[in-house]
A and B are shown apart, each in its own frame.
Chain A
Amino acid sequence: MRDTSYAAVLSRKNEIMKASLGIDFDTYVSSPVAFDYERMMADTGYSLDDIVRIQSGTKVGGTPLFELNRLTEAVRAFAEPGKGARIFVKDEAANASGSFKARRASISAYEAKKRGYAGLVAATSGNYGAGVASQAAMRDLKCIILQEVFDSRGVGQPEILEKSRACEAYGAEVQRLSVGPELFYVLLRTLEETGFFNASLYTPFGIRGVETLGVEIARQVRERCGRDPDAVVVTHAGGGNLTGTARGLLAEGCTSTRIVACSVDLAGLHMASDADFNRKSFTTGHTGFGVPFATWPDRVDVPRNAARSLRYMDEYQLVSQGEVFYVTELMTKLEGLERGPAGNTSLTAAVTLARQMDRDQVVVVQETEYTGAGKHHNRQLSFARENGIEVRVGDPAENVPGKTIVLPERLEQVRGRVQEMDRLRMSYLKNAAKQHPVEKWTDGDVAFLAADLKKEPAWVRQAVPALT
């Protein structure tokens, strides 16, 4: 009988990962901080055309791009003369399972089937679980989804309760767990017990599956507007959405498109805290994931993360919970489109960007997700009230995560705010220095770190003195 204590299972992490993914990460790693990222991505063996073909076989991709005419007009009503870019949204809710996460799950499911695994396991409380369960159903694979659902009172976050329902609807075994990072421990144990494929969010299969989203955006905007998208806004949490979309845009030659990340600001709330768990009105797309994953991607459930957001990010916008709920309601009323919080986070940043950009420019919100019971913004606000959070109308600058949600009175109060990119890059380098002392960094390490930060090696070199 194997030792299943926390420490014992964690110590078997590498062998469990190797068996459940069939990827030997050691072959790419050149130092504690550097590895051959592009070779790892290429070794999936799939071309973009292959990925399109696989996805079209399981109801993924080819989603519509809608222009949000009335919302654009509403922005132009208060923007400076000549300002107010055209806002488009990629309706990813049209994928099987209702979000872009179907793209991310599709290649893992195909690979698992091809290699003879009996099933898939994923640890995720978000749309990804439904994506994996739906793809597994179509590939006749068994599926286990592990979710962080409820606090010590037994109260579940309504959005995650809906995800539990969706996963069971697609025939998955759903393990609903209380608050804590030990979800990873349960993942390892489950992989070991079942021998199933690890459908981690952060494998090369997951990220390459998202590349088709960037490709479609490039082609659709060129056809509709006769230009490349000027900015693409991506709701940012773990970094896979941004990484995959940006890689797809680059593959199509959109080298001057600005890649803008956006997260809901939840500063001050602890992600592993039982008491804070139900004081958050967003379960993902927030700074509690967005900042730590950007500044150290390799903190995930695979040894090297294929989602590396700072490698592709040009700008990082923060928005408040109240601003997102306001824009969600406004899109419903102006555009006749009722969608969930994930895409509406980046839509909120798009309002701010469109206001600053010229009228002939194009800003693309690269996803929507489905909404409904539990996920709906009305439920999130009523749940916040039930948990003692103040909800009122006023100046969104007065939002305090976990205490007050302020809905703006007017669209022009939606301003968001920008994160300082170089501060994030420095934070990444400090994390790298913790893994591998700066004095041991080789030219190869510096070249990798520079590429991972979308900077030149000289920039990393000049930053080194501030790290020690």
Chain B
Amino acid sequence: MSVARGSWVEIESIVLQPAERAPGLPEDTARTPYVLRLSGFLEEVAEIGQEVAVKSLIGRTHRGVLRLVNPGYDHSFGATVPELLHIGLREG
């Protein structure tokens, strides 16, 4: 499915490959690439997974792999933790 020019999208790019990363990292971090995700307006018609350019909210151009269309925020208040509900109640 092609994504229209001007769509609000998220791209991903590798900033540093594992071998290029800072010295002295813990081993678990050192074996992963250093990755950037950024949202912007798509500069050309493209498919998910293609290398594209986007313009950020302040008008700067960034390049990366097209990952999501209309990325939103789905962070929440989470599943209720019942242990919290008892705190501060005048019980009885």
Point out residues on A near B: beta carbons under 8 Å. Answer: 5-6, 119, 142-144, 149-150, 152, 156, 158, 161-162, 164-165, 168, 171-182, 185-186, 194, 270, 272-275, 325-326, 329-330, 332-334, 373-374, 376-383, 385, 391-393, 407
Contact = CB atoms under 8 A, between A and B. Distances in A.
A194 B61 CA distance: 12
Interface string B34-45: 111111100000
Interface of B: 15-16, 20-22, 25-26, 28-29, 32-40, 56-60, 73, 75-81, 83-84, 86-89
A207 B77 CA distance: 33
Nearest to B90: A333
Given A172-B57, A173-B56, A177-B35, A391 B83 contact: yes
B48 to A, nearest CB: 15
B52 to A, nearest CB: 16
Contacts of B15: 177, 182, 185-186
Given A332-B88, A391-B81, A407-B84, A274 B28 contact: yes
Contacts of A6: 16, 20-22
A330 B90 CA distance: 11
Which 7 pairs between the two chains have the least Cβ-Cβ distance? A333-B88, A382-B78, A374-B75, A379-B78, A173-B56, A329-B87, A152-B32
Contacts of B86: 393
Given A171-B57, A181-B22, 7 more contacts: A5-B20, A161-B75, A182-B22, A334-B88, A381-B84, A382-B81, A393-B83
A382 B79 contact: yes
A220 to B, nearest CB: 27
Contact of B87 (A164, A171, A326): A326
A86 B39 CA distance: 47
Contacts of B88: 329-330, 332-334
Contacts of A162: 73, 75
A131 to B, nearest CB: 17
B21 A182 contact: yes
A385 B78 CA distance: 11
Contact of B76 (A142, A168, A379): A379
B84 A329 contact: yes
Nearest to B78: A382
A385 B81 contact: yes
B83 A378 contact: no
Nearest to B35: A178
Given A6-B21, A330-B88, A377-B84, A173 B60 contact: yes
B35 A272 contact: no
Contact of A178 (B34, B40, B73): B34
A174 B38 contact: yes
Nearest to A146: B36
Contacts of A329: 84, 87-88
A176 B37 contact: yes
B57 A180 contact: no
A171 B59 CA distance: 11
